[in-house]
Amino acid sequence: MPFPAHRPRRLRTTPPLRRLVAETRLGVDDLIAPLFVREGIDSPAPIASMPGVFQHTLESLTNEVAGLVDLGLAAVILFGVPVTKDPLGSAASDPDGIVQVALRELRDRYGDEIVLMADLCLDEYTDHGHCGIVTPDGRVDNDATLQRYAAAAVAQARAGAAVVAPSGMMDGQVAAIRAALDGDGHQDVSILAYSAKYASGLYGPFRDAVDVTIAGGGTRDAYQQDFRNRRESMREIELDIEEGADMVMVKPAVTYLDVLAEARQRFDVPLAAYHVSGEYSMIKAAGERGWIDAPRVALEQLTAVKRAGADAILTYFAREAAEGGWLR
């Protein structure tokens, strides 16, 4: 009888042996928790399409961050939901805008213990829901938008952001933000660029989370990337690094593992991936129906993202993963 000459299964026989030879480990140091803070509410508001995720009040946000600090999480990234939206997204750069108020509070309490990041975009703040300034004929004006991003970056840095994360996919946004930060004395504030960000159907639940409805056909196809393209992402990442990005991101995560793996091979800066709202909600929904074991699938997906090359993962599972003993 011909017995197998090679037996890879030997190394899978016991849990400690599997632990010993595991190539990829997911830990609290890898995770960035996205958090929503909403102006003008008295108690945290659950987001229907994202079970377990809330629009926070300032107070509940502070408590949430305290809990994440205790769990040893590396970073949080803030998204604001303002009371007033207007064509310019004024609240994004207002020193009294909700994210700036939250940053000042969190910096004073936890700034030395957890990395405070701020998503830098206009869509949460504009009445038309686009990530930039819209011209009378309905296009998003790239260069006019850069000025708004520069102002928002300065406001966020003054309020205490250690990292600003531009997510609007305007050309030249990293250079514009770097110049504005340096010009205002924030040489130490880093930029995490959403460099390879696709126009994805997976952002649906997020738009409930920030109360955004996109005017004029409802897509961002004219500025976010086409999901048929991979090489284009390498170009986007390369440009962002040249413009001064300290860290770069691929978004979404699981549907773009090929992009992530190639970016890991080509570039040496820290690489993040965003496991987005739709990726979260699909797992939660199937788990609620009993069709999959949700924590198990979440761990499998997040580990895959790390295995593909991400140094850090933005995920709505961050707290649950840290609390639930999924991490090593």
Residue 317 binds ligand PBG (CB under 6 A): no
284 as an active site residue: the answer is no
Rank residues 149 and 206 by Cβ distance to ligand PBG and give the closer one. 206
In the complex, minimum distance from the CB of residue 268 to ligand PBG, in angstroms, rounded to a whole number: 25
User: Whole-angstrom Cα distance, residue 244 to residue 231?
Assistant: 21
Q: Which of residues 214-273 bind ligand PBG (CB under 6 A)?
A: 220
DSSP 226: P
User: Whole-angstrom Cα distance, residue 59 to residue 102?
Assistant: 9
∠ CA 18-21-27, nearest 5°, is: 85
In the complex, minimum distance from the CB of residue 209 to ligand PBG, in angstroms, rounded to a whole number: 8
Q: Which of residues 85-104 bind ligand PBG (CB under 6 A)?
A: none
Q: Which of residues 29-68 bind ligand PBG (CB under 6 A)?
A: none
Which of these ranges, 17-25, 117-125, 173-181, 292-300, lies near ligand PBG under the rule CB under 6 A? Answer: 117-125
Give kind and range of the element (H or E) at residue 56: strand 54-56
Considering only 190, 277, 301, 315, the residue that binds ligand PBG (CB under 6 A) is 277
Considering only 57, 93, 156, 167, the residue that binds ligand PBG (CB under 6 A) is 167
Considering only 110, 198, 203, 267, the residue that binds ligand PBG (CB under 6 A) is 203
User: Whole-angstrom Cα distance, residue 55 to residue 37?
Assistant: 5
Buried/exposed code over 174-198 (b: 16+ C-beta within 10 A; e: otherwise): bbbbbebbeeeebeebbbbbbbbbb
DSSP β-bridge partners for residue 81: 38
Size of the site for ligand PBG (CB under 6 A): 10
Residue 267: φ, ψ to 5°: -125, 150
Q: Which residues make up the interface to ligand PBG (CB under 6 A)?
A: 119, 121, 123, 131, 167, 203, 206, 220, 276-277
Which residues are known catalytic residues?
197, 251
